[in-house]
A and B are shown apart, each in its own frame.
Chain A
Amino acid sequence: MKLKVEDIFARLLEEIEEGRNIEDCLAEYPDHAEELRSLLHLAGAVKQMPGPVPRREAVQQAIRNVRQMVQADARAVRRFSWRAFLLHPVTVRTALAAVLVIILGWTTVGLSAASLPGEILYPVKRLSEQVQYFFTTSSEGKAEMHILFADRRTEEFIMTFEPGERIDQRLLESMLREAASAQQFVDELPAEFGEVLQRRIDVCNRQQLSVLEHARDRVCDCDREMIDAAINTCRARHGCMPDTGDADEPCCD
């Protein structure tokens, strides 16, 4: 295989480093001899050039600087104490701020629990529910969460309902959606785990149906169609609920 000129140059450099004569080396590569001769001479001249020598005082100064740095670092490590750290104004301020944020957060979430749609703290209540839900990993836990949220939305519906006034469509949808989501999770559970939760969903659905039927005659005409659809949904689900007295009754879905 024909070598490239840079490979020949590298090889000749190594041979010259080992003590061979330039002309002897070049004799093996007559095609490249003319090109490589001056390059090898130049490389040799660069190699023979005495290296620059740093001034002694510059080296000593560098060593002194390093010693000072190492000593300063060691002092800094020795100086560190937990007591000083804990009593440091920045640490104290940060800790106080953190405690304040926790207390404020806790209080806000607590106060928001009783809030209703349209109130300032209601978004906090929904957000805290989402956080709770996010940290729930099991299917049973998620089903329980949806049942709890469905109950809360039903309660909110009762509290915000005004006869003759428009009903909160988003709240109504949310109420039905939570119950449906709970049902989905329970359906995926083995029968022995799902039985208790199924009863709770059954109760929740009955309550929603009862609330909606009670409200039906009092809503304004423009919302009647919407509430009828919701009642039908609840009835359909209610029909699906396995009768606790006859568990073999097939589901209507």
Chain B
Amino acid sequence: MKKELPGEVLNDMVAQAKDGNDASLSELCEYIYGRIYSFVYYRVNHREDAEDLTGDIVMKIIRSLDRQKGNFHAWMYRIARNVVIDFYRRRGVRKEVSLADVHDEPVDERSRIGDGVLTRDKLRQGLKELTAEQQEVIILRFIEEYSTEEVAARMKKSVGAVKLLQFRAIRALRRYLRKKGYEIKS
């Protein structure tokens, strides 16, 4: 997980970017891009779409900086979520993972599940089988590695609701992987 900047450092960066400091603006863009990219990537299942959408989200966030109030990260993810929703709304259906995109993946991007191996492609396909909220909780809790409380703040849900959601999401993911023949230690 990329390290989240402390509040005061981030506020300082935002203030300087608002004042027209070019270096701070670039730094802030890079930071936002880094935080948002994997969230978008696992939601849209396509690298180029993810890059385009993340670029759009960064522009939207920078343009709305003057109106930002409260928790910066929660606000940032809210904008990202809305852009992804708009993307699917415009498209009508979810885009299937293209073969070219799958082969684009470096082979070492995988991790072990008990005695088996989980590849990013398989995880991505598994996420596609989940509801939007389940996808979001898996991305925020297990990929972005936010705490349950932080996920609750970002998703505007209670901690109890997030606990239930993460349990159901990981169970649904296990069901999909088992169906696809992945051995998961139990």
Q: Which residues does A use to contact B, with CB under 8 Å?
A: 5-7, 9-10, 13-14, 34, 37-39, 41-52, 54-55, 58-59, 61-63, 65-67, 69-70, 73-74
Q: A46-B143, A52-B47, A62-B29 are in contact. Are A69 and B112 (CB under 8 A)?
A: no
- Which A residues are CB-close (under 8 A) to B120? 49-50, 52
Q: How far, in whole Å, are A42 and B168 apart by their CA atoms in the complex?
A: 13
- The yes or no answer to B132 lying at the interface (CB within 8 A) is no
| Most-contacted residue by chain B among A14, A54, A58, A74 (CB, 10 A) | A54
CB-based contact B123/A38 at 8 Å: no
**B:106-142 near A, CB below 8 Å:** 109-114, 118, 120, 123, 138, 142
- The yes or no answer to B77 lying at the interface (CB within 8 A) is no
What's the tally of chain B residues with a CB closer than 8 Å to chain A? 52
CB-based contact B167/A41 at 8 Å: no
Main secondary structure of the interface of A (DSSP, over half): helix
Q: Which residues does B use to contact A, with CB under 8 Å?
A: 1-2, 20, 22, 25-26, 29-30, 33-34, 37-38, 41-42, 47, 50-51, 54-55, 58-59, 62-63, 109-114, 118, 120, 123, 138, 142-143, 145, 147-148, 160, 163-164, 166-168, 170-171, 173-174, 177, 184-186
CB-based contact A66/B113 at 8 Å: no
The residue from A10, A42, A48, A58 contacting B148, defined by CB atoms under 8 A apart: A10
CB-based contact A7/B163 at 8 Å: yes
CB-based contact A9/B163 at 8 Å: yes
- Which A residues are CB-close (under 8 A) to B114? 38, 41, 45
Q: How far, in whole Å, are A249 and B33 apart by their CA atoms in the complex?
A: 89
| Most-contacted residue by chain A among B168, B170, B174 (CB, 10 A) | B170
CB-based contact B63/A38 at 8 Å: no
Q: How far, in whole Å, are A52 and B48 apart by their CA atoms in the complex?
A: 12
The residue from A6, A7, A47 contacting B142, defined by CB atoms under 8 A apart: A47
CB-based contact A6/B55 at 8 Å: no
Q: How far, in whole Å, are A62 and B54 apart by their CA atoms in the complex?
A: 8
User: Please, which residue of chain B has its CB at the minimum distance from the CB of A59?
Assistant: B33
CB-based contact A65/B55 at 8 Å: yes
- Which A residues are CB-close (under 8 A) to B174? 38-39, 42
CB-based contact B47/A42 at 8 Å: no
- Which A residues are CB-close (under 8 A) to B113? 41-42, 44-45
CB-based contact A66/B170 at 8 Å: no
- List 10 additional contacts besides A9-B167, A46-B138; criterion CB under 8 Å: A7-B163, A9-B163, A34-B186, A38-B185, A42-B173, A45-B118, A48-B111, A48-B112, A59-B29, A62-B55
B102 to chain A, nearest CB (A): 13
CB-based contact B59/A65 at 8 Å: yes
